Amino acid sequence: MIFEIKNDFLTVKISSLGAEIQSVTDGEKEYIWNGDEKFWTGKAPVLFPICGGLPDDEFTYKGKSYTLKKHGFTRHSEFEVEKSEEDRIVFLLKSNEETLRQYPFEFELRQIYEISGNMLKVETAVNNLTDGEMYFTTGSHEAYACPEGIEDYKIIFDKDEELIANALKGNLLTENTQVILSGEKELPLKESYFEIDALVFKKHNSDKAVLTNGKRTIEVDFAGYEYLLIWQKCGAGYICIEPWHGIPPMENSSKAIEEKEGMIKLKKGENYSTVHTIKFS
């Protein structure tokens, strides 16, 4: 089902499948990718309990092996609506037989959307219900519409950046790197960046990034996120700015979930929450 929140500035539509944003419009402009199946049917998947992929789509925990596909199961899971108001909605996913086959931890995952003026607040909240520790990562994957083509756009960071991208090989990061920005704030977008896959930055300085071509502007505030990715399927009319609390593993890394870089660990009963905001103009 599709649910809607709105105010005088924005109308946001979200699907209960994956708690995934389907549309953000100000009445004139659509800011979210249309999901054209020729390129990529996603629009803004929620990533949990992993960001990216795993070696052979597998991880181990306490001597047992589990199969978990890229970005986890959340984007294919049906959420319930826990609370709905005109400008705010809370989606809830609870662990179940299907999730436990892939991921041996009991949890509650809430995806919360709230609009204020021209800003959309996106919150991901996790509660560990497991009798013991729980390991996970989470991230966002919003695809912003660039109908003129991405090379008409640039990304402007709020701080001078030293952005070095680790190349992907399948699900895994390699030691091969490419310097994307060195001591600059502005990144003109090029389709050639995405001929292999995403730009994966294990380090960044900024808290904000502005996507703009002078006609439409999207400002993403991702303060507190350790990792940042930028991605497009070549030729498609969108760009993803992806703040992640997690990162794909390096080649030849351990399959043990406890040893995976960027893992968040919660004790039983502990809660975790992360927020990023998006302004549209």
Q: Which domain holds residue 255?
A: 2-280
How far, in Å, CA of 161 to CA of 78, rounded? 38
Per the document, the length of the chain is 281
> Which two structure tokens, joined as six digits, stand for 197?
């896959």
Return the pLDDT at 153: 98
Contact 82, 2 (CB under 8 A): no
Q: Which residues lie closer than 8 Å to 56 by C-beta, 6 or more apart? A: 255
Position 271 scores a pLDDT of 98
The continuous run of DSSP H or E covering 223 comes out as none
Q: Mark the ranges of the chain whose per-residue pLDDT is less than 70.
A: none
Give the pLDDT score at 121: 98
DSSP state of 140: E
**What's the confidence (pLDDT) of residue 112?**
98
Residue with tokens 């100000």: 26
Place of tokens 């560990």: 128
Measured CA to CA, the distance from residue 91 to residue 83 in angstroms comes to 7
User: pLDDT at position 54, please?
Assistant: 97
Phi, psi of 192, rounded to the nearest 5 degrees: -60, -25
Nearest CA among 240, 158, 157, 228 for reference residue 194: 240
Residue with tokens 């400008």: 87
Q: What is the pTM of this model?
A: 0.97
User: Residue 254 maps to which CATH number?
Assistant: 2.70.98.10
User: Max alpha carbon distance in the chain (Å)?
Assistant: 54
Asked if 264 and 102 touch (Cβ cutoff 8 Å), the reply is no
The total number of structural domains in the chain stands at 1
Here the tokens at position 64 are 């047992």
Query: What is the C-alpha to C-alpha distance for residues 236 and 40, in angstroms, rounded to an integer?
Result: 8
In this predicted structure, what is the pLDDT of residue 215? 95
Distance CA 47, CA 66 (A): 18
